[in-house]
Chain A
């Protein structure tokens, strides 16, 4: 069972709903109650200033041990909100990025599986 912890840093909620769909459609995916139980961390949203602080508080503790998957276009480069995303925060390194607005649940599930084999990139 692969446990996921989702961090919404200001997304519209569509990626978050599609992650829920991915968990429903894939029996090997489940939710983690808190980030420290998670096998994969999921980032949605363009890392808005306030949410970014909360995200970093978790990510700094887990960056060495848990891979991060960025889900959705705005988490990658902030489009269409015109700000933020991983492109504006090079200190945050994701194992994988899933493009799409929102991406398909199948693509999200595949990325989660792949993130576990790819492992954590050196930052």
Chain B
């Protein structure tokens, strides 16, 4: 029996709008059409028309779940254009905020995958850990999500002694809880049965499609901006790269939770090492003419900002963001898959249309 099934554009298992039109033959997907473009706001074109404070605010709202990564890349590009230095305290605070954001993003993605395969109890554990992470984020950056935090030359807000102490008490507990959850996931047979060799993306295909971030690292691609061209505080902290060889749903899930675990440790270390010193930044009074670029590892892979200036204002901004699914990649991942596995496979890509389409 053959029929068509449309999923989306609005669906509880994905955050940004995207549509899948599946042609089902028996129990498997025979073919599919992927539609995107629901989230094109034209932010990059809008940025040069704004003054710097407004531009930075818009950058922080291009993606709410990778907001620190976007503002960090934008600020680093401005700093490189204008030759602005950043104090060590600010560098470590930025790193802590960026890693906490990664934890929140990854744990939510992993929880969504677990929910789609019916493992609601484990998903709830991860969701609660994510919520606790957001409360630490509030202490460190002043907001649960999309904080007004990075500014050229530093950060907008110094963490208070009390907030730092509370965060340093909470983070080790969170780290241990995430570790215990990973331990239960590794040999959970119900989880293995639903995820191993499901939705496989071989390494060669991942390379060809230019997949980035955790999705690429789950297919064995050893690539991470934090390791490859170290920025912010990653030279000061012991950073460990997470990769898996499997390329399947299980590998993607493991990369998400293991990276969340590593990110919690990094945020903890960054806050421990916090030196006294300069943290304040301010908007430069004038921009140097020329162009500059900066890349950071956002929760879903490299985000690069290339900016051009005529000496008074920004004239051009190019934002290069990761894209987890496109028409052909969606077909590679889903064609031939069992209908039951469709939503878990899509959830495991952790698509962020807000980043991809800006």
Contacts and interface: CB of A to CB of B under 8 A. Distances in A.
Interface residues of B, number: 35
B61 A33 contact: no
B156 interface: no
A81 B55 CA distance: 11
Interface in A91-106: 101-102, 104
A80 interface: yes
Interface residues of A, number: 38
A48 interface: yes
Interface stretch (B39-47, B181-189, B198-206): B39-47
B34 to A, nearest CB: 14
A18 interface: yes
Contacts of A74: 61
B128 interface: yes
Contact of B10 (A18, A46, A54, A101): A54
A33 B41 contact: no
* Most B-side CB within 10 Å, residue of A9, A18, A46, A80: A80
Contact of B64 (A12, A31, A51): A12
A21 interface: yes
Contacts of A11: 16, 64, 354
Contacts of A16: 15-16, 64
A11 B190 CA distance: 35
Given A48-B38, A80-B61, A81-B41, A14 B145 contact: yes
A17 B144 CA distance: 10
Contacts of A15: 64
* Most A-side CB within 10 Å, residue of B12, B62, B131: B12
A12 B19 CA distance: 18
Interface string A1-18: 000011111111111111
Interface of A: 5-18, 20-21, 24-25, 31-33, 35, 45-46, 48, 50-51, 54-55, 58, 74, 80-83, 101-102, 104
27 contacts: A6-B10, A8-B39, A9-B17, A9-B38, A10-B17, A10-B41, A12-B67, A12-B146, A13-B63, A13-B65, A14-B67, A15-B64, A16-B64, A17-B145, A21-B131, A31-B12, A32-B12, A35-B10, A50-B37, A51-B17, A51-B39, A54-B10, A74-B61, A80-B54, A80-B61, A81-B41, A104-B144
